[in-house]
Amino acid sequence: MKRTDANPVARTATLLGLATALTLPACGRPDEVTVDKAWVRLPAVPGRPAAGYAIVRGRDRPMTLLRVSADTAIRTEMHETMRNGRMTSMRPLDSLSLPARGEIDFEPGGRHLMLFGINPSVKPGGTMVLTFNFGDGTRVSRKAMVVAAGDDAGGNGAK
């Protein structure tokens, strides 16, 4: 007995439906948030806080950055530098919104991390791990290059 598929449109629709079903799990999975160019500048005076910098990039959905921690610091706070004429001040930030496909830039003179109680074993040329904690439970850890007070990472922070 010879088998015939008299309806090629139905066969094509079935194949397309199968292909769509196989690709749906990948489409529904949100892209990961990334952290790039992470670096930390040590303080000029031992015992004072260090400053941390990085670029945080969002993906498919908005997120809230709640806190950042460092493996070699007792406490880490997010701060923002504000200018009013010739006066400059800083204020702590409780959280930051990361828009879908947006960025949070932690950079000198703007938003940055303050790292308190740095372990004395941390030296320029080394690394430390920064962990970014988001409201949905996402955690992203990245190695951050450590530089001396007054030095700049030159845009080449650890990835």
Burial 82-110 (b: 16+ CB within 10 A, else e): eeeeeeeeeeeeeebebeeeeebebeeee
130, 36 in Cβ contact below 8 A?
A: no
Of the candidates 90, 135, 136, the one whose C-alpha atom is nearest the C-alpha of residue 113 is 90
CATH superfamily of 34-147: PCu(A)C copper chaperone (2.60.40.1890)
90, 49 in Cβ contact below 8 A?
A: no
Digitized pLDDT (tens) for each residue of the chain, 159 residues in all: 555 555 655 554 444 444 444 444 444 344 789 999 999 999 999 899 999 999 999 989 999 999 999 999 999 999 999 988 889 899 999 999 999 999 999 999 999 999 999 999 999 999 999 999 999 999 999 999 999 998 887 655 655
As to burial, measured by CB atoms within 10 angstroms (0-12 exposed, 13-18 middle, 19+ buried), residue 50 is buried
Residue 158 confidence (pLDDT): 58
